[in-house]
Amino acid sequence: MSDPNVPSETSVESEPTVQGDVHSAAEPAYRSRPAPWRLGAVLTPLLSATLGAALVLGLTTQVDSTETGAPPAGAVTGVQAPTGIRSVAYTEALATAKTRKPKVTVIGTGGTISGVATSRSSFTDYRSGQIAISSMVGQLQPEIGQVADVSTVQFGNKGSGGYTMAEFHALTLAVQNALKSADAVVVTSGTDTMEEFAYWLDLTVQSRKPVVITGAMRPWAAVTPDGPQVIGADGPANLYNSIVLAASQTTYCYGTVLLLGDEFHAARDVTKTNSSRMDTFQSREFGVLGWVDGPNIKVGRAPARVDDCDRTRDWLTPFDLSRIQPTALPRVEVVYSYQQAGGEAISGFAAAGVKGIVTAGTGAGGLSSAQSSARSAAAAQGVVFVSTTRTGSGSVYGSSTTAPIIAGDDLLPQKARLLLLLSLAFAPTNLDRVRDWVTTFGNPEWDTAPNGKSKD
């Protein structure tokens, strides 16, 4: 493991080391046009993970657990299957989690959660990426060993903002490789770009098994990696609850979810809203998916993707990264609009060979006159645009039917960038397909038509 000396989570540190084989898990082929999804169903069950004594296995190191014969304090104890998700695969996953101890792989990428502060009372003065993920999981023993058999992979150890798109590509393959044998995966990362980690995995992981991403707003230890815990450190609880949630299979077919502060969110909707507060992650207008309340997992709603759980070809996205090399990922940038904004940024990106640009416009996607002119010129050269709003919520409508300008609805600019990047990678010369993918995968909908009746 590297020993970076950087004061904040976002700093670029050592290059990640990918452990083991990172080839994609074999799953059925993707659909060419996905059915629409929309968030909206409300579920209120209590779900759980299987309990029992366990030995925690490490891919990078092995951690012994102590068998106590009794469930740990705060472990999930009861199961009430949700009635709103009518999926055989989902029901079977929950049932299996009750009959045996699940296997969960935790993949560490660094960030504040693995940070070392200058003192126990220092919440902001620390070096991120200092503690191995195997050590952090080991400190959750023996309690976590009674919830799941846990293995660890040290993918990297640096701030989230320091990762490249090629490394994102490798991370997806590492997650898929782990899911070949594990029942679920937990990924730890820095919080600065955690929402982008989550959405990338949500779009690219070709498995219905749970993927949970977590981190912390306060560093784990003080002075040294094996030093005393920072006062009020949230990392241990976040990591523990993420493993519990993943093991329970509660989010089977949900795609990737993000958990911090006892709440879990849909990757598409969640965003970081505060630079320092513990409750920084929010899902804007949609709200959280659910909560881990000590021994209970309460689900408030489900992403519409669950509706396709029994139809694997429909559930999967077309973005299978085992089919392309990292070099196939095109350059896509974001341009911010403001009062009398110049068009040079758009023109400069187009001249540099950028394939796509996301505009974070004012209000419902508005651009200055200079930016609008520059966009028209760049679009004529083949640059594809997605229009979003800088407001943080609300929709942008009105895709062009003739120019390569696509409305991003309520996707945040940084997430629209990832979706456009992947769409251009897999359909570089097919604008209609790119437009279709941005419209459908970017804006999921529930099918609310009654059974036996045609859809409106």
Positions annotated as catalytic residues are 112
Contacts of 375 (CB under 8 A, 6+ apart): 343, 346, 357, 359, 367, 385, 405
Nearest Cα to Cα of residue 440 among 39, 31, 36: 36
* C-alpha to C-alpha distances, 65 to 21, 97, 100, 137, 244, nearest whole angstrom: 27, 20, 17, 11, 16
* Distance in angstroms (rounded) separating the CA atoms of residues 439 and 219: 39
Provide the 3-class DSSP secondary structure of residue 147.
coil
* C-alpha to C-alpha distances, 211 to 206, 248, 251, 253, nearest whole angstrom: 11, 12, 8, 9
Nearest Cα to Cα of residue 80 among 91, 68, 66: 91
Q: Which amino acid is at 102?
A: P
Element (H or E) spanning 235, and its range? Answer: helix 235-248
* Distance in angstroms (rounded) separating the CA atoms of residues 399 and 401: 6
* Distance in angstroms (rounded) separating the CA atoms of residues 443 and 427: 19
* Distance in angstroms (rounded) separating the CA atoms of residues 177 and 181: 8
CB-CB contact of 129 with 15 (8 Å): no
Tokens 């060993």 identify what position?
A: 145
CB-CB contact of 437 with 33 (8 Å): no
* C-alpha to C-alpha distances, 68 to 110, 224, 342, 430, nearest whole angstrom: 31, 30, 65, 59
Contacts of 91 (CB under 8 A, 6+ apart): 81, 85
* Distance in angstroms (rounded) separating the CA atoms of residues 243 and 195: 19
Spatial strand order of the sheet with 384-389 comes to 332-336, 356-361, 384-389, 405-407
* Distance in angstroms (rounded) separating the CA atoms of residues 246 and 239: 11
